[in-house]
Amino acid sequence: MMNKIAPPPHCSFEPDDWLRLAGYWYPVARACDVGNAPQKATLLDEQLVIYRLKGQIVVARDVCPHRGVPLTLGFQEEEGIVCPYHGLRFGENGRCNRIPSSPGQTIPAKLNLTTFPARERYGLIWTCLAPAQDTDAPLPSMPHWDDAGFQQITCPPFDVAGFAGRQVEGFLDVAHFAWIHTATFADPDNQEVPDYSPAETPYGFSVDYWSTVGNYPASAEHRGPGGFKWLRRFDMYLPFTATLTIHFPGESRLVIMNAASPVSARKTRMFAPIARNFDLHVPVEDVHAFNHKVFEEDRLMVETQRPERLPLDLALEAHIPADRSSIAYRRGLKKLGFGEFFLV
């Protein structure tokens, strides 16, 4: 049952910003982690329960409409999820189909879960708290995910004690490679950022960034050919999802999706699907570990930035030429109507 949506109690966002954010799709779990048992997630301060029922993904508000007990404390039977307090059971479309204490009575119409649309894509479960009635916001797109010869890897989620906007801005930032990521792939002696120009798109903006900064792991024996120019293609899907396509030598490609799911204004759960067409013999656990290490290198910067919130008024922070993507990001958010500081 789709009800009129409103910011939850104790919401950490400004109400207008929350309502705008609620119109977009965000990942809330890895598909491989969701089974029949109810699983907890939080999106935009809204507590959610996620589970599969007869093969279908269900995302609902984590509260029993009878007496408000979290359904994540309950369990599932063949015909639905069961509240642990009075045994009320909710089946397809979140409709109550059993009241153990009154088995012969008509079930009240109000006994419905508040459910949200759910989609399974890129190894993730996505939901939208307030889909538009006329034009449904599309899911972000990920290059090469469905292409022949590409391996699909969905990394475990990564929690950050910071705002999703700050985390995404860091993903777009090419000037910090030589300072933060030298233990993984970057060169501390290659600090200069060549010119680049973001181009506006219907979903946000894209950037083709050419440089001599390689992307092989620092521990790897092989490197790119001398003088090789690496192309990094960023696609920013406002407000919080970006993809990075890295053109390795030859036809080798690596695509990383940075999907920052806003748990609250100060907490983010990162999801990172990866597609690649080389090193297919490398165990996925090694890919998970390398990806985790790269994001871990960013953690201290994202979690200690002040202000925690992302200023959309460009006059409130100083900027350098390498910041063209972060400036485009802030302008894009402002164009969508988000508040000057984006959050409370």
Could you tell me which of 166, 167, 187, 163 has the C-alpha nearest to residue 177?
187
Matching residue, tokens 């916001």: 137
Query: Is this model's pTM higher than 0.85 or not?
Result: yes
Tokens read off for 344: 């409370």
Confidence bin at 221 (pLDDT 50/70/90):
low
- State the pLDDT at residue 342: 87
Q: Residue 302 is which amino acid?
A: V
Does residue 183 carry a pLDDT above 60? yes
Q: How confident is the model at residue 126 (pLDDT cuts 50, 70, 90)?
A: very high
* pLDDT greater than 60 at residue 1: no
pLDDT at 188 over 70: yes
The arithmetic mean of pLDDT across residues 77-97, rounded, is 95
Burial class, 59, CB count within 10 angstroms (exposed 0-12 / middle 13-18 / buried 19+): buried
Q: Which residue has the tokens 């920013």?
A: 236
Q: What is the DSSP string of 64-133?
A: -TTT---GGGSEEETTEEE-TTT--EE-GGGBEEE-TT-TTSPPPTT-B--EE-EEEETTEEEE-SS--S
Give per-residue pLDDT as tens, 242-267.
Answer: 999 999 999 999 999 999 999 999 99
CB-based burial of residue 338 (10 Å sphere; 0-12 exposed, 13-18 middle, 19+ buried)?
buried
Cβ atoms of residues 212 and 190 within 8 Å: yes
Place of tokens 């992302």: 310
User: What is the rounded CA–CA span in Å between residue 99 and residue 29?
Assistant: 30
Q: Rounded distance, CA 176 to CA 38, Å?
A: 40
Instruction: Grade residue 136 by pLDDT with cuts at 50, 70 and 90.
Output: confident
Contact 75, 37 (CB under 8 A): yes
* Secondary element (H or E) of residue 211: strand 204-211
Q: How confident is the model at residue 124 (pLDDT cuts 50, 70, 90)?
A: very high
Confidence of residue 88 (pLDDT cuts 50, 70, 90): very high
DSSP sequence for 277-315: SS-TTS-HHHHHHHHHHHHHHHHHHHHH-SSSS---SGG
Name residues whose C-beta falls within 8 Å of residue 195's C-beta, 6 or more positions apart in sequence.
321
Distance CA 266, CA 343 (A): 9
Q: Is the predicted pLDDT of residue 5 greater than 90, yes or no? A: no
Query: What pLDDT score was predicted for residue 3?
Result: 54
- Asked if 161 and 266 touch (Cβ cutoff 8 Å), the reply is yes
Give the pLDDT score at 260. Answer: 98
| pLDDT of amino acid 22 | 96
Reduce the DSSP state of residue 52 to 3 states and report it.
strand
Average pLDDT over residues 275-283: 95
Q: What single-letter amino acid sits at 275? A: A
Q: What angle do CA 38, 42, 45 make, to 5 degrees?
A: 140
Instruction: Show Cβ contacts of residue 206 under 8 Å, excluding neighbours closer than 6 positions.
Output: 198, 199, 233, 234, 235, 236
Task: Kindly report, residue by residue over 199-213, the tens digit of the pLDDT.
Answer: 999 999 999 999 999
List the one residue out of 74, 57, 67, 75 whose CA is nearest residue 115: 57
pLDDT exceeds cutoff 80 at 133 = no
Query: Residue 168 is inside which H or E element, if any?
Result: helix 164-172
List the Cα angle 138/7/49 in 5-degree steps: 70
Token pair listed for 73: 């404390």
